[in-house]
Chains A and B, each alone.
Chain A
Amino acid sequence: QVQLVQSGAEVKKPGASVKVSCKASGYTFTTYGFSWVRQAPGQGLEWMGWINTYNGYTNYAQKFQGTVTMTTDTSTSTAYMELRTLRSDDTAVYYCARGGDTNPMDYWGQGTLVTVSS
C-alpha cells in the first residue's frame, strides 16, 4: 500500500533553514510527482509547489520563490523540501502529497510541525 512518511518535528530560530523529508513506499517513485502544502495553526491549506520526480522540474508558488527548494532522491524514494530564511509566520505543519500535476493529490504524509521561535 502507498505510504508517505515524513521526518519529525523541528524547532528553528528566525533566519535559519529547515529541510523536511518525505519517504515514499508501495509504488514506483518516479511515476508521480510530489506537492508540498503547509497549514499554519488554525488556518487553511496553502500550496507551496510541486516537483517532477522523473526529471526534477519544479513549480513553486510565487510567495516561496527564492526561499524554497524541492528535491528528490530516487535511490531512496524520498522527496525533500527546504525552506530558508525562516520567519515566525513560517510556523506551520508541512505536508507532502503524491501527485498534484496532471494527477490530483491523493496520498498525503502525516505532516511535519515546524516551529520558528527565538
Chain B
Amino acid sequence: DIQMTQSPSSLSASVGDRVTITCRASQGISIYLTWFQQKPGKAPKSLIYAASSLQSGVPSKFSGSGSGTDFTLTISSLQPEDFATYYCQQYYSYPRTFGGGTKVE
C-alpha cells in the first residue's frame, strides 16, 4: 500500500497568512493526487485534483503543485472560512489512501 504522510499535522495561522501543507507519498504516484478540505460535521470538499488542477468553483487562492512523491497545497491568503482540516489522497493505485490530515487553526 502507498503511505501518504502529511506535514504538519496541525498549524496555527492568522487571517492573511500564506499557508503551505505538504504531502509525501511512499512511492511515486505521478500526479494522481487530490486535496480535500473538511470542516467540522461536514463532508470533505474537493479542492485540487491531478496535483494542480483547481476543482470547478474553488477560489484561486488555493493552488497545488508537485509530482512523483512530493506535493504541496498552498493557500495564498488565509481567510476565516479556510480554517479547516485538509487531506491529500492518492488515486494512482489500489487501495486508495489518504494522508492523516492537517488542521489549520
**A104 at interface by CB-CB < 8 Å:** yes
Also in contact, A44 and B46, with CB within 8 A (given A104-B34, A105-B34)? no
Q: Is the CB of B87 within 8 A of A110?
A: no
B residues near A100, Cβ cutoff 8 Å: 91, 96
Give me 20 other A-B pairs in contact (C-beta within 8 A), A45-B89, A105-B34 excluded. A37-B44, A37-B98, A45-B38, A46-B98, A47-B89, A47-B96, A50-B94, A50-B96, A95-B43, A100-B96, A102-B91, A104-B46, A104-B50, A105-B36, A105-B46, A105-B91, A108-B43, A108-B44, A109-B43, A110-B43
Which residue among B32, B55, B91 has the maximum number of chain A CB atoms within 10 Å of its CB? B91
The main secondary structure of chain B at its interface with chain A is loop
The main secondary structure of chain A at its interface with chain B is loop
How many Å from the CB of B93 to the closest CB on chain A? 11
Write out, one digit per residue, whether chain B residues 83-97 have a CB within 8 A of any chain A CB (1) or not (0): 000010101001111
Write out, one digit per residue, whether chain A residues 88-106 have a CB within 8 A of any chain B CB (1) or not (0): 0000000101001110111
- Give the size category of A's interface with B: 20 to 34
Q: How far is B94's CA from A62's CA once the two chains are assembled, in angstroms?
A: 10
A residues near B55, Cβ cutoff 8 Å: 106
6 A-B pairs with C-beta separation under 8 A: A45-B38, A47-B96, A50-B96, A95-B44, A104-B32, A104-B49
A residues near B39, Cβ cutoff 8 Å: none
